Amino acid sequence: MTFQEIIFKLKSFWANQGCVSLEPYDFPVGAATFHPSTFLRALGPEPWKAVYAQPCRRPTDGRYGENPNRLQHYYQLQVILKPSPNEIQDLYLESLSFLGIERKYNDIKFVDDNWESPSLGAAGVGWEVWLNGMEISQFTYFQQIGGIECKPVTGELTYGLERIAMHLQSIDNLYEIKWNDEITYGEIYLQNEEENSKYNFELVEPKILIKLFNDMEKECENLLNENLPIPAYDILLQNSHILNLLDSSQAVSSTERQAYILRLRKLSFLIAEKYLEKRKKLNFPLKK
């Protein structure tokens, strides 16, 4: 099964479960959770079901294209189910068997791994899903987002697409993943990994990024004063990515990093609060 077929199949599986099929978000994110369709939609009482593939950037995970299992740019397939249904784990296992991964012949473990995003003020209880020892998914029940208790609770399923493709195609090196029958993952992304690793680790200019962070933070505050939480959130995403770049360049000490995280968290709290207020004014339109 090719990489693109995995995406097609998972999207159609979950669309059949009633999920809205969405496209990736257009700002850099470190994880599919940052897509507003997850972060913002998890707030408040409105039900929500969505599925989308999301390219993610994690600058510190770059390995110059040399590690067969690590990337600074990779894909997640995200499923959001709010409220989380009772049979969520079974649905997930069914989706795997839809891909041809049968639980009778594979060791599938749910390994305790609670999730926390300090910069989003978010926390959840959940598991890593292991397929024959390899982490292929993350499964989380959101308890809190932007400092606000989640009620109802959103269930989040995040598939690591490269890992799943490696399993299905029985290969050890993700650059050899067949994207379709003609072209490999490496042919599309190897140069991208090499160049971005060089940038992330060696050429990030902290001064520029720190100034940008400060300016963007002001912009975000202005937007919040104008009661516009959605564009404010876009700015937060960009600052979160800037912090990740500062991290990979090792330009900030652990305390400085902590200080930046707190600044992000403060904004994410305000955004969550404002967004929820606005939905409330609209009488929570999706709550039918």
Partner 1 sequence: MITKNLLFEIGTEDLPPNNLKNFSKKISDNIELNLKKNNVQYSSVINFYTNIRLTFIINNIEEEIYVKEKLIKGPPISQCFDESNNPTKTGLGFSSKYNVDIDKLDKKSIDGKDYLFYKQPEKIIKVSNILPKILEKALDSVEDQKKMRWGDNDTLFIRPIKWILLIFGSENLNCEILGIKTCNYTYGNKVLNNNKIIINNIEEYKSSLINENIEIDQEIRKDKIKKDLIKIFQKNDFDNSIDKNTLEEVTNMAESPHLFLGKFPEKYLDLPKEVLAYVVQDTQKYFLIFKKNKMTNFFVGSSNVKINENIIKGNERVVIPRLDDAKFFIDKDLKNDIFSKKSMLKKVIFHKKLGSMFDKVDRIIKLSIYINSISYNDKKLLVREIAEICKLDLISSMVVEIPKLQGVIGQHYAEKSNKNKIISEGIKDHYLPKNPEDSVPGSKDAQLVSMADKLDTVVGIFLVNEKPTGTRDPLGIRRATNGFLRIILQIEYNLSLTELIDNSAKIIYENTSYFNKQVKQDGGLEDCHQFFKDKLILTLKDNLGFQENIILAVINNEKNIIPYDLLKKIEAVKIIINNPSYKDLFSNAKRISNILKKSDVQVSSEINENLLRESSEKMLYNAINNLKKELELSLNQKKYEVYLKTLNELNDFITAFFAEVMINAEEEEIKLNRLSILSTINNYYNKVANFTVLAF
**Exposure pattern of 90-122 as b/e (b: 16+ CB <10 Å)?**
ebbbebbeebebeeeeeebeeeeeebebebbbb
Contact 223, 271 (CB under 8 A): no
Report, in angstroms and rounded to the nearest whole number, the Rg of the chain calculated over CA atoms: 19
Q: What 3-state class would DSSP assign to 82?
A: strand
Contact 243, 259 (CB under 8 A): no
Contact 136, 69 (CB under 8 A): no
Using the minimum distance from each CB to partner 1, give the nearer residue, 16 or 86.
86
Judged by CB under 8 A, does residue 288 bind partner 1? no
Using the minimum distance from each CB to partner 1, give the nearer residue, 92 or 213.
92
From the list 28-36, 67-75, 192-200, 204-212, the region that binds partner 1 by CB under 8 A is: 67-75
User: What is the rounded distance in angstroms from the CA atom of residue 169 to the CA atom of residue 167?
Assistant: 6
Judged by CB under 8 A, does residue 211 bind partner 1? no
User: What is the rounded distance in angstroms from the CA atom of residue 22 to the CA atom of residue 80?
Assistant: 11
Tokens representing residue 193 in the block:
């990994």
Judged by CB under 8 A, does residue 132 bind partner 1? yes
User: What is the rounded distance in angstroms from the CA atom of residue 214 to the CA atom of residue 2?
Assistant: 43
Least Å distance, CB 236 to partner 1, is: 25
Judged by CB under 8 A, does residue 152 bind partner 1? yes
Q: Which of 8, 23, 118, 151 binds partner 1 (CB under 8 A)?
A: 151
Q: Which of 85, 97, 198, 227 binds partner 1 (CB under 8 A)?
A: 85
Q: Which of 131, 145, 235, 237 binds partner 1 (CB under 8 A)?
A: 131
Judged by CB under 8 A, does residue 86 bind partner 1? yes
Considering only residues 46 through 65, tell me which ones interact with partner 1, judged by CB under 8 A: 63
Q: Which of 8, 23, 109, 287 binds partner 1 (CB under 8 A)?
A: 109
Using the minimum distance from each CB to partner 1, give the nearer residue, 253 or 283.
253
User: What is the rounded distance in angstroms from the CA atom of residue 130 to the CA atom of residue 280?
Assistant: 39
Q: What 3-state class would DSSP assign to 149?
A: strand
Judged by CB under 8 A, does residue 16 bind partner 1? no
Judged by CB under 8 A, does residue 254 bind partner 1? yes
Judged by CB under 8 A, does residue 141 bind partner 1? yes
Judged by CB under 8 A, does residue 18 bind partner 1? no
- Which residues of the shown chain bind partner 1 in the complex (CB under 8 A)? 63, 66-70, 83-86, 89-90, 103-112, 125, 127, 131-134, 141, 143, 150-153, 155, 167, 172, 253-256
